[in-house]
Structure 1
Amino acid sequence: MPISLRGKTWWCDFATPSGKRIRQSLGTRDETQARELYDKLKAERWRVDRLGERPSYSWDEACVRFIQEKSSKKSLEDDKAKIRYFTKFFRGRVLGSIKRDEVQDAVAKLEGRTDATKNRYLTLASTLFRLAANEWEWIDKPLSFRKKKEPSRRVRWLTKPEADRLLAELAPHMKAIVQFALATGFRHANITGLEWSQVDLVQKMCWIYGDQAKAGEAIGMPLNQTAMQVLISQLGKHPKWVFTYRGDRLRQRAREGFANALRRAGITNFRFHDLRHTWASWLVQSGVPLHVIQELGGWHSFEMVKRYAHLAPEHLRRHIEAIDAQNLNGTISSHPHRIDEENRKKKKALL
């Protein structure tokens, strides 16, 4: 069949008059709409091959297709917000007529936004034009953009005294989730959405499913004593949700209570997500290897974990001391007791 259902989305698979195979998502779950899109696509490909025509697609059509194909993307709502911004400049425009400088100028008009945020807008535009050129074949070539240099990623973590002050200011229901965050490194949404079905108190394990994890992969977390104590304190409060407030699941209101406690504790420049940074930082300072922290935290990229490496410079010492064995110019000894003996002789000569 020229169209088929894969998962919940219809796909097409056909050969053009020139023999090129076209196999792609039609971006819809409706069979009737899928057939219409397939017929339109096949007719367009015929005109391209037989008549040398390239259909003109608009910015709006590209945005619709992008959203359809990215329907399962976790950050789709953020992408939609960026698309709405760009649409103010390019609504109704033929996609191939949009120039790189026009996109750069539109991003430059973003007021009060950091260079990092502006780069995210350019990344979305770059992705859309790349798809239009390389996969959809709607334009001849993709657009590339000049991005701003970004500072190193922000890492803010609590010292132990700061953590103690914060915990002392939190209401009981908030104290529980903050303690659990510090014990596990889980994100806010993973904590407030945690169900008892994801917890095994006997095996001392907790799971975050792949569709709940930012990296899209399931996370299995062995529970330490602190996390176990928090979970045990929540038993019997709700049949489904682990963390509750007044008998119901904790939601965004948890952030308000957290912000108020931070203010009372005198802690500034700190967000709930920084509890995750605190968890990772404390582990690094305790000597836990970075690759272990990556696995525990469910980070997809090792680069995300390397930002914590500077907190444990001691792990470099044993490697840099290997140079001592080279005895450079006869002035460096590989044996500490020889250095001590030489120092004693020098001191004695001065007396």
Structure 2
Amino acid sequence: MASIYRKKGNDIWYYCITYGGKKYQGTTKTTDKQSAKLIAEAKQTDIAREKNDLPVLKKTVVNFTTAWDRYIKADSSSSSNIKNKKYLSIHFLSVFKNKDIKDITVSDIENYRLQRKVETENLPKNTDKKESQISFRTVNREISILHHFFEYCIKNGMVDKNPAAGHKKLREGKRDIYLSKEEQERLIAVASPHVKLFIGFSTLTGFRKSDVLGLKWDDVNLEDKVIRVWINKTREWKIYPLSTAATNVLKNIKKDCEYVFSYKGKRLNDIKRSFKTSVRRAGLSGKEGLTPHACRHIFVTRLTEAGVESKFIRDAAGHMSEKMSERYKHLSPNALRAKLDEAFSGDKKV
């Protein structure tokens, strides 16, 4: 006899089958009741065939590559994040591409992680380094993506468990991402116009790259010196007060597109390549890890150097929500703006 049930706080249906005096339980991997009934009946048939020495009907195989393609198509994150996932998937796709995702175990993921660790250690740039001097950031990122991928597979009923969960992170070396005021001005001086504006605004606000590039003019209020930003990382809208310097940067931008940061009248989707060119022109290539995200770190460092209290830095770097009166009663937008003006008052205009 096959029956189905749901556990408290879970939308997934489970089956309970009694056959030959023995009870069998498991998940149907679906939230649809009708489908769950059919799966339970099919499972009961499999048990009966097995107990009577008859071959069990062939089960559905979900190829890793097929599941990965579905995962990428369903990804609602930014285009740059999806592009990065595709780039980092090159290594693990070559290993798992022909496997049924249900057959991939914790040991398989761990062996892959160790294999990638050895490959990283053998890179030309790391040959003369001790293990403690090598950063395995890329390997950690690959495992993180696999973890997220298998969570998607669980949610969509393709697997029961996440074999990429619970793996210890490898060591990530510290990046030299700080720029002095002189180095920052040098970088801005040689940057192309759109990169110059990006650097100026990012180092004055601490926004992440995706948040800056996604900013629209409709979300900017120059008169009140505030902007509304869609935070990709937390998937929510937040209100942020602008310093006088950051407001002046926006005033210098030509409104030829609905997006604030544009290039030749079109949205600027990424800035990584042109930023790298600017770094090379400024003679700063020796600073490992100097990417657009470094502007956020520069922002926090500058506030720290200016003696701004940690609570102000935390709120500034984390952004202020529209529920500011409830969550940030200790800090008003005007108070934060004053701190920002104080920290960046000596900066040259962009």
TM class by shorter-chain length?
A: 0.5 to 0.7
> Equivalents in 1 of 2:226, 2:162: separation in Å?
50
CA offsets 1:128-159 (integer angstroms, 9 cap, x no match): 55776798484578566653532355361211
Corresponding residue for residue 342 of structure 2? none
Paired residue secondary structure (1:234): coil
1:46 aligned residue (41, 64, 74): 41
> Where does residue 280 of structure 2 map in the other structure?
263
- Larger Rg computed on CA atoms: 1
Letter in 1 for 2:76: S
Q: Is the 8 A contact 1:215 1:299 kept in 2?
A: no
Partner of 1:101: 107
> What is the identity, as a one-letter code, of the residue corresponding to 1:103?
I
Residue 306 of structure 2 is matched in structure 1 by 286
Q: Distance in 1 between matches of 2:178 and 2:30?
A: 44
User: Among 214, 222, 235, which residue is 1:201 paired with?
Assistant: 222
Superposition map of 1:141-180 within 5 A: 142=163, 146-151=167-172, 153-154=174-175, 156-180=177-201
Q: Aligned runs of 1:303-318 on 2, under 5 Å? A: none
SS in 2 for 1:163: helix
The answer for the alignment partner of 1:219 in structure 2 is 238
Q: Does 1:241 align with 2:286?
A: no
Shift of 1:276: 1.1
Tell me the TM-score normalized by structure 2.
Answer: 0.61
Identity within the alignment, %: 23
What 5-or-longer segments of structure 2 have no aligned partner?
A: 1-10, 18-24, 51-55, 124-134, 321-350
Q: Residue 57 of structure 1: CA displacement?
A: 5.1
Give the deviation of 1:124 after TM superposition.
Answer: 3.9
Per-residue deviation at 1:221? 1.7
CA contact (8 A) 2:102 2:158 kept: no
For 1:277, which of 297, 309, 328 is the aligned residue? Answer: 297
Partner Cα distance (2:257, 2:83) in 1: 31
Confirm or deny: 8 A CA contact 2:179 2:298 kept in the other structure: yes
Please name the residue that 2:22 is paired with. none
Structure with the higher fraction of residues in helix conformation: 1
Kept in 1: contact 2:72–2:82 (CA 8 A): no
**Could you tell me whether the CA contact under 8 Å between 1:17 and 1:50 is conserved in 2?**
no
- Superposed CA deviations along residues 237-273 of structure 1, whole A, max 9, x for unmatched, are 4252323444444444x54443333233322322222
- From the superposition, tell whether residues 182 and 77 of structure 1 become closer, same or farther in structure 2 (CA, over 3 Å): closer
Aligned mates of 1:93, 1:250 — CA distance in 2: 38
Aligned length: 277
* Cα displacement string for residues 132-189 of structure 1 (whole angstroms, at most 9, x for unaligned residues): 6798484578566653532355361211111222222234443222211111112333
Q: State the distance in 2 between where 1:165 and 1:81 align.
A: 31
Q: What is the CA distance between 1:67 and its match in structure 2? A: 1.5
Structure 1 counterpart of 2:41, which letter?
W
User: Match of 1:176, as an amino acid?
Assistant: L
What RMSD, in angstroms, separates the aligned Cα atoms of the two structures?
4.3
TM value normalised by structure 1: 0.61
1:76-102 CA-to-partner distances (Å, cap 9, x unmatched) read 555555556434334454445434433
Counterpart residue identity of residue 137, structure 2: A
Query: Could you tell me how far apart the structure 1 residues matched to 2:159 and 2:242 are?
Result: 51
In structure 2, do the counterparts of structure 1 residues 72 and 160 end up closer, same or farther at CA, with 3 Å as the change threshold? same
Cα distance in 2 for partners of 1:119, 1:272 equals: 20
Shift of the 216–153 alpha-carbon distance from structure 1 to 2, 3 Å rule, reads farther
> Which deviates more, 195-204 or 120-129?
120-129
User: Relative contact order, CA 8 A, sep 6+: which one is greater?
Assistant: 2
Match of 1:67 among 63, 66, 71: 71
2: distance between equivalents of 1:152 and 1:241? Answer: 36
Tell me how far apart the structure 1 counterparts of residues 187 and 147 of structure 2 sit (CA, whole Å): 42
* Matched-pair contact (CA < 8 Å) for 1:198–1:207: yes
Are 2:207 and 2:317, in contact at CA under 8 Å, matched by a contact in 1?
Answer: yes
Cα distance in 2, alignment partners of residues 157 and 266 from structure 1: 14
Q: 8 Å contact 1:196–1:242 — kept in the other structure?
A: yes
Matched residue of 1:287: which SS?
Answer: coil
Query: Could you list the runs of 5+ residues in structure 1 that have no partner in the other structure?
Result: 1-11, 27-34, 301-351
Name the CA distance, whole Å, in 1 between partners of 2:272 and 2:153: 40
Code of the residue aligned with 2:112 in structure 1: it is A
Question: SS of 2:228's equivalent?
Answer: strand
Q: Secondary structure at the match of 1:43?
A: helix
Deviates more, 1:149-158 or 1:159-168: 149-158
- Aligned in 2, Cα 1:240/1:143: closer, same or farther, shift over 3 Å? closer
